Amino acid sequence: MGKHNKNPKLYIVSLTVVSMFAIICMAIITLMMLFTDIAPARILLITVGVYAFVSGVGVFLYFFITSRVQRFHAVDDNVTDLECNLTLNFLSELYMPVVLVNAQKKIIWYNQSFSDKVQSRGGLYGKSFADYCPVSTEELLESDNMRGLTVQAFGAYFNIKAHNLPFNGENMVLTTWNDCTELILANKKLEDEEPLVAFIVIDNLEDLMQYAQESYRSASARVEEILRSWADSIDGIFREYERDKFILVFQAHHLAQFVSTKFDILDKIRDVRVGASNLPVTISIGISTLDGNLCTKEKNSRSALDTALQRGGDQVVLKTSEGTEFYGGKVQTANRRSKVRARVVAEELSHQMAQAENVLIMAHAYPDYDAIGASVGIARLAEYCGARFNIVTNFTSGDFKKCEAKLAGYSDSGVFVDVSTAKDLMTSGTLLVIVDVNNPTQFEAAKLADMASNIAVIDHHRKAAQFGYEPKVTYIEPAASSTSEMVAELLEHVLAPGLLTKDIADILLAGIMLDTKQFSRNTGARTFGAALYLRNEGANPTTAGELFYTELNSLTSEADYESNVVIYRSSIAIAQNSEAQPNEAVGRVAAAKAADKMLNVIGIEASFVACYTQDAVHISARSNGRINVQLIVEKLGGGGHFDSAATRLTNVSLTEALTMLKKAIDEYLSETKEEK
Mean pLDDT, consecutive 10-residue stretches, the chain (676 aa), reads 45 66 73 70 72 71 60 43 59 82 87 83 81 86 76 89 80 88 87 91 72 70 93 94 92 92 90 75 91 88 86 87 82 58 89 95 91 96 95 83 84 88 94 92 89 93 71 88 94 93 95 90 87 94 87 78 91 89 73 89 94 88 89 88 87 92 93 69
Angle at 325 between CA 321 and CA 326, to 5 degrees: 160
| Residue from 582, 587, 565 nearest 574 by CA | 565
- Cβ neighbours of residue 359 closer than 8 Å, sequence gap 6 or more: 353, 378, 379, 382, 387, 388, 389, 390, 430, 431, 432, 433
Q: Which amino acid is at 628?
A: N
At 4 the pLDDT is 40
Determine contact, residues 498/457, Cβ cutoff 8 Å.
Answer: no
Prediction pTM value:
0.61
Dist CA 674 CA 676 (whole Å): 5
Indicate left, alpha or beta for 582 from its phi (over 0: left) and psi (-120 to 50: alpha).
alpha
Biggest CA pair distance of the chain: 153
At 79 the pLDDT is 43
Determine contact, residues 505/538, Cβ cutoff 8 Å.
Answer: yes
Determine contact, residues 329/312, Cβ cutoff 8 Å.
Answer: yes
| Residue from 437, 448, 425 nearest 482 by CA | 437
Dist CA 412 CA 420 (whole Å): 19
Indicate left, alpha or beta for 384 from its phi (over 0: left) and psi (-120 to 50: alpha).
alpha
Q: Please name the residue ranges forming H helices in 216-359.
A: 216-233, 255-260, 265-270, 294-310, 339-355
At 579 the pLDDT is 79
Q: Please name the residue ranges forming H helices in 495-551.
A: 502-515, 525-536, 541-546
DSSP structure class, residue 364? B
Dist CA 94 CA 101 (whole Å): 17
Dist CA 567 CA 602 (whole Å): 12
Determine contact, residues 6/70, Cβ cutoff 8 Å.
Answer: yes
